[in-house]
Structure 1
Amino acid sequence: MAQGYFITGTDTGVGKTTVSCALLRAFAAQGKKVVGMKPVVAGSENGRWHDVEQLIAASSISAAREHINPYAFDPPVSPHIAAKQAGIEIDLTVIQRAYQALSSQADIVIVEGAGGFLVPLSAQQTGADLARALNLPVILVVGMRLGCLNHALLTAQAIRAAGLTLAGWVANCVHPQMQVLEENIATLEQRLEGLLLGVVPFNHEIIAKRKTGLLDIIRLR
């Protein structure tokens, strides 16, 4: 059975896909068979879901799309609303079976959540329930901007309350001119129990050139 990690963020748009792809490439560079999974995605452009496409491109093996992405919705809204508009309900057992299928093919499965950790998936369930159903250690992507300290610490608290392990966290520089960036990172290093796996720069050209050197996966608990 493969090792898996659940990637969540302090909010939507904080770079979960960027970090997920960096993790896939880092593990692939170690000779691992890797595959990315996006259980639920909302928001398409011309019939394409870019998060899913990027995860597929960063994977080293081919897998069935229905396993990589069991639920895809066109409107860029919360998954529970998108599912209701589509007349369906997101079923965590469907996602569990898809994950098990991917696990039988790969050494590493990187599962990217939707939005933040507590984003609603149905009337009763959230992203936390999905992470708990898969029983995976969590990697937290912190979008480095004003307010990130509170968001990161609250999310870490929610991860622990769900009975899950915070395996590590990544500082993603989403704001090009964030003040006292280093001080904010140092504060989170001190207060978060999980290890800092790396700092992703704002410059996307640097990200493209350093496909495997952004994150220190050796530090994963």
Structure 2
Amino acid sequence: MKHFFVTGTDTDVGKTQIASALLCKARQTGLTTAAVKPVAAGCEHDGERLLNDDALQLQAQCYPPLEYQVVNPVAFAAPIAPHIAAAEQCAELSVTQLAPRCEQVLAAGAEFALIEGAGGWRVPLSGAETLADLARALQLPVILVVGVRLGCINHALLTAEAIARDGLPLAGWVANIIDPHTSRLKANIATLTERLGAPCLGVVPFLASPTPESVAAHLDLAPLG
């Protein structure tokens, strides 16, 4: 079984786009899949419950299917940092709360499963805890989504250093080109390849209307083992 924690160099770097495509790629190879977005902020009410678009994208790539509340156990309406959203609603948000929800899905035995964080590696939960602490509690190797734009090298290397400092392996990374006008694009990607010290799972070009299938065409799961 291949289980990973997906993080990004920042928010809005296409983390869910890449995670959904990785799940799609796994399904194309005949693997069963599962995903969890433990906490999501920026949700809309459908009349019965809060739904998050990122979580819905992940849910669509889960096979066998999973119920929404399994994929996204904690949801907040405001599109703000999760710890602030929780504080505004006097809600609990902790590793102790979230880890069992993730472990339950992982224990179900999907051959390829992803736990997707929110924003970057050090996004706070509450008190001194961050989403990195959740990844540590789950002891999962990490897949890093690098949003390729000006400044991405610094963000990627700092994130990789933090992951290593927290004692988790960087299983691989994806270059997701979010700014097609990035100067010296090839040189940036070459530098990331040289310095990150983990396999590149793909370079995803800027796509005007990306789908899991179109993004998956640029990804390779083989380096994950």
Residue matched to 2:112: 108
- Conserved in 1, the CA contact under 8 Å of 2:103 and 2:138? no
| Equivalent runs, 1:69-218 vs 2, <5 Å | 69-103=72-106, 104-205=108-209, 207=211, 210=214, 212-218=216-222
What TM-score does the superposition give when structure 2 sets the normalisation length?
Answer: 0.92
Listed as ranges, the gaps of 5+ residues in structure 1 are none
Taking the aligned partners of 2:195 and 2:60, their CA distance within structure 1 comes to 35
Amino acid corresponding to residue 39 of structure 2 in structure 1: V
The reply to whether residue 14 of structure 1 matches residue 9 of structure 2 is no
> Within 2, Cα distance between the matches of 1:137 and 1:209?
24
TM-score, normalised with respect to structure 1: 0.94
Instruction: Please tell me the residue identity of whatever aligns with 1:58.
Output: Q
Displacement, 1:211? 5.0
Cα distance change, pair 41–157 in 1 and its aligned pair in 2 (3 A): same
> Post-superposition shift, 1:206?
5.8
Please give the alpha-carbon distance, in whole angstroms, between the structure 1 residues aligned to 2:209 and 2:82. 31
Higher strand share: 2
Give the count of matched residue pairs: 220
Which is worse superposed, 193-202 or 163-172? 193-202
Q: What's the RMSD between the two structures over aligned residues? A: 1.6
Q: Which residue does 2:63 correspond to in 1?
A: 60
- On the 8 A contact 2:7/2:145 being kept in 1, the answer is yes
**Sequence identity (%):** 46
How big is each residue's C-alpha offset from its partner over 1:113-144, in whole Å with a ceiling of 9 and x where there is no partner?
Answer: 00100011111101110110111000000000
1:85 & 1:101 partners in 2: Cα distance?
28
SS of 2:216's equivalent in the other structure is: coil
Instruction: Specify every segment of 5 or more residues in structure 2 that has no aligned partner in the other structure, as ranges.
Output: none
Deviation at 1:52, TM superposition (A): 0.6
